[in-house]
Amino acid sequence: MAVRIETEKDIEQLRQVALLQQAELDRLHRRLVELTGELAQARGEDATRVLQLELATLKEQLDARTRALFGPSSERRGRPEAEKAAEKASTQARRGHGPRAQPELPVVEKVHTLDGPDRICPKCGGDLEEMAGQYEEADEVDVVRRSFQIVRHKRQKYTCRCGECVDTALGAPKLIAGGRYSIEFAIEVAEAKYLDHGALARQERQMRRQGLDITRQALWDQLFALYRHLAPTADALHAYVVSSDLILGDETRWPLLGRDDASRWHAWGVAREDAISYRILGSRGLKSAREVLAGFQGTLVVDGYAVYEAVQKSRAGPEIELAHCWSHTRRKYREAEPHHPRAGAMLDMIGQLYAIEARARETDAEERLAVLGELRRTESRPIVDDICRWVTTEHALPKSSLGKALAYTERLWPGLVRFLDDARIPLDTNQLERGMRALALGRANHHGSRSERGTQVAALFYSLFETAKLVGVEPRQYLAEATHRAIANPGTVTLPHELVTS
């Protein structure tokens, strides 16, 4: 407790120091403006306005860094009252104060009866008799602690009276020939690391507390054995993703620990509507992008990272067409709004585009694309025209946050408007970003990978688990089925889609 108090005091002291430093910088800025103005007048120059704009830009950058250190990380901003009310109603419907239904939990009934001495009527002294089928019922959520056991497989031997034949019953399939751990145990380890983001060292400590004496090397061996059986499935999943003519692309850091080039390693993600595939490679450059997108032809929805344009230009012919993400564009204006309130107009217009998309999602799935196409033609296009006029008529210093947002929008404009002509193109890459969050959480918990082989294993499990979640298949169930099939027939490919029940 004392350590926590000291930590809170340290944080508060750091905040106070930062605020004092900012106040001092503000005072220096004001004094510099005054002196610069006096100097300009003495020289007969009218440079004050330009210098003030440059100083304002410098102050904006300082404030942005201060917010990055001490401010909230949310991108949310004020929205129309109707939208707020709708969200509030939805939240209240989801969150009430009563007990939540638990349809996935098994129900175990436990009957409580009166002891013999209590089965006497306090009024007349007669015996109390059971009321058939009559109970007062109350549910409680209980926990069954995970436990480990040794399953001793005894394979029955058989012989013939002739003495010429001895046969033995088949045993359970093995993950590793002669191995000691079951397939289900290995899946438990994979689920704990790549779904729940538990480092192997943490799992080792937990298992020891639960009675299993094991090393993290043994845990890693189970993961790698699973990887070897499932590698053909992961390759097939990646091929399935890039075979689509419309995919999303993104990338994020994934350090390779203990290497001089650790910071250069990145996880690349590509996704179609019903699948996600990851590759963890040694750079964020053109070579890695080409490897991830090998074999793809069609529309690629991405942010403004220039390497995707480089891939497009390096291809012979128009094999890749870029569509750009409105969510990333919105972030640029969200960052500019505190210093340039007029950026709020752009945020409102982008919000209108998203409101139109939300209306289309409320329609029947079979008609959704047709409805969305019509809405984009009749309602989204005029808004995009307004955005275009706004962007081309607004002016800001190039180095200011608003100036950078305007330049970003103008550079990506052809890709930003591509969604208007193809209802299949999403407005953003948010589906893939949600999938990439799993890697970000894993990176925060186990800091990356310790070997190149580890990056391959991580990419495989994240791909299979996130795709299973995307199509509505329970990840553990899917991994077990895919592994059993691959062990029974090496090289067998089982995509999560095969386990979807209608």
Q: What percentage of the chain has pLDDT greater than the value 90?
A: 59
Complete DSSP assignment for 142-195: ---------------EEE-TTSS-EEE------SSTT-SS-HHHHHHHHHHHHT
- pLDDT tens for residues 87-127? 454 455 455 566 778 888 888 888 888 888 888 888 888 88
pTM for this prediction: 0.80
Q: Record the tokens describing residue 253, joined without a space.
A: 């850091």
Q: What is the dihedral of CA 476, 479, 481, 483, to 10 degrees?
A: -140
What is the mean pLDDT of the segment spanning 9-33? 68
Question: Which residues are CB-contacts of 450 (< 8 A; sequence separation ≥ 6)?
Answer: 256, 257, 258
Main-chain dihedrals φ then ψ at residue 281, nearest 5 degrees = -130, 170
- Read off the pLDDT band of 69 (50, 70, 90): low
The per-residue pLDDT for 219 is: 96
Q: Record the tokens describing residue 263, joined without a space.
A: 């910071």
DSSP designation for 333: H
| Domain map (residue ranges) of the chain | 326-428
What is the mean pLDDT of the segment spanning 358-375? 92
The per-residue pLDDT for 2 is: 43
CA 92 from centroid of its chain's CA atoms: 25
Contact by Cβ (8 Å): 79, 61 = no
Which tops the pLDDT comparison, 24 or 269? 269
Q: How far apart are CA 142 and CA 106, in angstroms?
A: 11
What is the mean pLDDT of the segment spanning 79-88? 47
DSSP designation for 100: P
Of 97-101, 161-165, 201-205, the range with the highest mean pLDDT is: 201-205
Which tops the pLDDT comparison, 232 or 110? 232
User: Residue 279 is inside which H or E element, if any?
Assistant: strand 275-281
User: Residue 326 is inside which H or E element, if any?
Assistant: helix 326-336
Contact by Cβ (8 Å): 50, 37 = no
Within 292-348, strands assigned E span 298-302, 320-324
pLDDT at 470 over 90: yes
What is the mean pLDDT of the segment spanning 386-409? 93
What is the mean pLDDT of the segment spanning 73-93? 51
Residue pointed to by tokens 């294993």: 457
pLDDT at 76 over 70: no
- pLDDT tens for residues 288-332? 999 999 999 999 999 999 999 999 988 766 689 999 999 999 999
The per-residue pLDDT for 123 is: 83
The per-residue pLDDT for 314 is: 87
Question: Which residues are CB-contacts of 298 (< 8 A; sequence separation ≥ 6)?
Answer: 244, 245, 246, 247, 320, 321
pLDDT at 189 over 80: yes
Amino acid at 23: A
User: Please, what is the average pLDDT of the chain?
Assistant: 86
What is the mean pLDDT of the segment spanning 66-86? 53
Q: Record the tokens describing residue 231, joined without a space.
A: 């590698």
**Which of 68-82, 277-291, 432-446 has the least mean pLDDT?**
68-82
pLDDT at 277 over 80: yes
Helix axes 381-393, 343-361, angle to 10 degrees: 170
Q: What percentage of the chain has pLDDT greater than the value 70?
A: 81
What is the mean pLDDT of the segment spanning 203-212? 94
Question: Which residues are CB-contacts of 348 (< 8 A; sequence separation ≥ 6)?
Answer: none
Contact by Cβ (8 Å): 271, 432 = yes
118-129 residues labelled b (16+ CB within 10 A) or e (exposed):
eeeeeeeeeeee
pLDDT at 425 over 50: yes
pLDDT at 441 over 80: yes
466-472 long-range contacts, CB within 8 A, separation 24+: 466/276, 466/278, 466/435, 466/438, 467/237, 467/274, 467/275, 467/276, 467/277, 467/495, 467/496, 468/496, 470/274, 470/275, 470/276, 470/435, 470/496, 471/274, 471/275, 471/496, 471/497, 471/500, 472/500
The per-residue pLDDT for 43 is: 59
pLDDT at 253 over 90: yes
CA neighbor of 325 nearest in space, from 438, 242, 408, 439: 408
